[in-house]
Amino acid sequence: GAVVSQHPSWVICKSGTSVKIECRSLDFQATTMFWYRQFPKQSLMLMATSNEGSKATYEQGVEKDKFLINHASLTLSTLTVTSAHPEDSSFYICSARPGFSYNEQFFGPGTRLTVL
Amino acid sequence: AQKVTQAQTEISVVEKEDVTLDCVYETRDTTYYLFWYKQPPSGELVFLIRRNSFDEQNEISGRYSWNFQKSTSSFNFTITASQVVDSAVYFCALSERVGTASKLTFGTGTRLQVTL
């Protein structure tokens, strides 16, 4: 149990286009979902926290107009990278926290974004 | 603010050697959780262990063992008789309550290379 999926697993896009990444909790309801970004050979950095039905909370330094997060249901959160540029190329990982567990997060497999 | 330090950036060992990965954390909270994750080249995070701040008992799981010492704010991870399949990046993380939410802070990771 406690499986989180991400789609797509990788994407290549042209500079200036927008890319949407989906994160789904497959067998549990996620009251909170998190989005992380990981540059090569670096750690995971939390970008934002989203709760179902409310606006996401962004970490300092993360542009909320560039990284749009929508937590539309208890099993789905989306991250849209708007007007992507090469510096946005990274590994994006989502995680989901079930309502029954305060401190557990289940991680998705990640999405590798390459902006040309 | 919470902080996790993994001083070892890279470690190389020969198969069957034992290896210890260090993790030191900082937090003001009395209630917190510590985690270890493995990230193989595929990128997907693999959960290894969760430990709460009230449980200082050491844990062993097969070739893996963890030593939690509150007095030194350390949560070290030992792999006994390492194998090539253990090659990965290992992250230590700290979960701490922030307001009504919890937040996971990752260390910078230790890259373990196990060779024949």
User: What is the pLDDT at residue B100?
Assistant: 63
d(CA A45, CA B93): 11
Nearest to B106 among A44, A91, A103 (CB): A44
d(CA B89, CA B80): 17
Give the pLDDT band (50/70/90) at residue A1. Answer: low
d(CA A54, CA A71): 7
Q: What is the mean pLDDT of residues B83-98?
A: 92
List strand residue ranges (DSSP E) for chain B, in order: 3-5, 10-14, 19-21, 24-26, 32-39, 46-52, 59-61, 64-69, 74-79, 88-98, 101-106, 110-115
CB contact under 8 A, A103 and B50: yes
Classify each residue of B82-95 as buried b or exposed e, where b means 16 or more C-beta atoms within 10 Å of its C-beta: beeebbbbbbbbbb
Which of B5, B10, B102, B110 to mutate against chain A (most A CBs within 10 Å)?
Answer: B102
Question: Residue A98 pLDDT more than 80?
Answer: yes
Q: What is the mean pLDDT of residues A44-72?
A: 92
User: What is the pLDDT at residue B56?
Assistant: 85
Q: B36 and chain A: CB distance < 8 Å anywhere?
A: no
d(CA B1, CA B26): 8
d(CA A106, CA A112): 18
Higher pLDDT, A31 or B110: B110
Give the pLDDT band (50/70/90) at residue B88. Answer: very high
User: What is the pLDDT at residue B44?
Assistant: 93
Higher pLDDT, B11 or B55: B11
Nearest to B108 among A43, A93, A110 (CB): A43
DSSP letter for each residue of chain A = ---EEEE-SEEEE-TT--EEEEEEESSS-EEEEEEEEE-TTS--EEEEEEETTS--EEPTT--TTTEEEEEEETTEEEEEE-S--GGG-EEEEEEEEETT-SS--EE---EEEEE-
Distance of CA A101 to the CA centre of its chain: 20
User: Is the separation of the CB atoms in B74 and B82 below 8 Å?
Assistant: no
Contacts with B104 from chain A: Cβ below 8 Å: 34, 46, 95, 105
